[in-house]
Amino acid sequence: MDYLQKAKDFFKADIYAVETTGIEILEAAPNYAKCRLDVTEKHLNAANTVMGGAIFTLADFTFAVAANIGGVMTQSLTSQIAYLNVAKGKTLFAEANCIKDGKSTCYFIVEITDELGTKVASVSATGFRKVCKTM
């Protein structure tokens, strides 16, 4: 099954993440996803660094892709972000991995790095699994 294409087809409706922010899905499988964001001037804050909201949007979207591929509709219950370092590169990557996959809840860790290997942020996200199917 081509999870990557299914994810791209399903999440193209997420206009904010895909079109406005410019996030690209690189890999997708049940309970796993990797996405990228090419940093442009529109992602920078007044200090000329990547705005925390752009970093969080990348993490939240990557969680959504990983949590919804091949399963039931999952929505975020809680998310917590720790900003670790200022991004030094021009591309950010987010990688989401499922730590707990329960019947009605799940727990993911999303790690954000840049292309230089800088650890930019870490996000923990808890999701609620709804009854309706996704992809």
Model confidence band, residue 130 (pLDDT cutoffs 50, 70, 90): confident
Q: Give me the mean pLDDT over the 24-40 stretch.
A: 98
Mean pLDDT score of the chain:
94
SS3 for 75?
A: strand
Task: State percent of the chain over pLDDT 70.
Answer: 96
* CATH number (domain holding residue 99): 3.10.129.10
Q: Give me the mean pLDDT over the 2-11 stretch.
A: 95
How many domains does one find in the chain?
1
At 61 the pLDDT is: 98
Helices H, strands E: what count in the chain? Answer: 3, 6
Question: Which residue reads 């895909």 in tokens?
Answer: 18
41-81 confidence digits (pLDDT tens)? 999 999 999 999 999 999 999 999 999 997 789 999 999 99
Q: Give the domain extent around 40.
A: 3-133
Q: Cα angle at 18 between 101 and 50, to 5 degrees?
A: 90
Q: Give me the mean pLDDT over the 89-98 stretch.
A: 97
Burial category of 74 from C-beta neighbours within 10 Å (exposed 0-12, middle 13-18, buried 19 and up): buried
Model confidence band, residue 135 (pLDDT cutoffs 50, 70, 90): low
